[in-house]
Amino acid sequence: MIALLAPGQGAQSPGMLAPWLALRGAQQRIAVWSEIIGLDLQRLGTTAAAEEIKDTAVTQPLVVALSLLVAEELARRVDLPTEAPVAGHSVGELTAAAVAGVLTAEDAVALAAVRGQEMARACALAPTGMSAVLGGDPDDVMAVLAELGLAAANYNGAGQIVVAGALDALATLAAHKPARTRVLPLPVAGAFHTGFMAPAEQALVQYATQLTVKNPARPLLSNADGEVVGDGAEMLHRLVAQVTRPVRWDSCMATLGAMAVTATVELAPAGTLSGLVKRDLKGTVTLALKTPEDLDKVAGLIRDQLATARRATVHSGADLSGTLV
């Protein structure tokens, strides 16, 4: 089975939108979304410098817009089975919700823009940030975080935890690292996925009342606990609450493993999630859609997965006729 993954903030790079604008209808779609949110996504995704696009208010709608643009083109080229699950990391979960049919693409981009703006405002209220903690004993790491008043914001799996909190506490963590760990400060504006984002969550609660949702048309995993969510209203609630709660990407990958996912396709701007899958789900085939040329590889990946399933059927004697992978 193949899963579709949507990256989050931090995956962006200058000019990342440029090669995708040659796709049929791409510039028109970007123009529509730009008008909705009041940002020039085409300029931001082609000629803007790294410093400008790392602004939370810009990054979030830009990443979601690119991922959805690629997802729409992929859907035109490949018939991805409805059994194929979809999962997104942090703001990428808005992309995943749109791919699953919970939100329209327009609503997902607009929600990402509001999310980014409100999180940027919340970041300005206190000097906070985030750092990646790599390696070490998880219990030791959590004990140190508790002593310093820091929170685990992203459980990324593969021995990586992103922590968040006050800048002075993060500095202390870097100076007195838990045993056998590396601590890497991250270039973000504040403590995402913690209580510091409560003002943003309150604003999103109000904004979400105007959105219309549908139930997912394919398995949609939640960052809250890695579980498959089948109710659209519940998923919207989770998307809003997510800004103050940890991202359990480790749980999402555990669910993908339990679902017997053998390959993942990561939407642009791709690479980060594919790397985590390679390290955590050993043997899983990963395909990162970094350029339009990568799109045609998905059809080949589906054929390969189907052939593998058929060979397994021959060996096991099981009847998998009609099963899509």
Q: Could you give the CA distance from residue 272 to residue 288 in angstroms, rounded to a whole number?
A: 9
Residue 222 annotated in active site: no
The catalytic residue among 67, 89, 193, 251 is: 193
Q: What is the residue-wise DSSP string for 225-265?
A: TS-B---HHHHHHHHHHGGGS-B-HHHHHHHHHHTT--EEE
> Known catalytic residue: 90?
yes
Residue 183's DSSP bridge partners are: 133
Cis peptide before 61 (omega within 30 of 0): no
If 0-12 CB within 10 Å is exposed, 13-18 middle and 19+ buried, where does residue 38 land? exposed
Closest-CA residue to 112 (of 133, 131, 88, 144): 88
Alpha carbons 95 and 115: distance in angstroms, whole number:
13
Q: Is 111 helix (H, G, I), strand (E, B) or coil?
A: helix
Selecting among 34, 67, 90, 222, the annotated active-site residue is 90
**Could you give the angle at the alpha carbon of 64 between the alpha carbons of 240 and 131, nearest 5°?**
70
CA distance 178 to 195: 24
Q: Judging by beta carbons within 10 Å of its beta carbon (0-12, 13-18, 19+), is residue 230 exposed, middle or buried?
A: exposed
Question: What residues act catalytically?
Answer: 90, 193
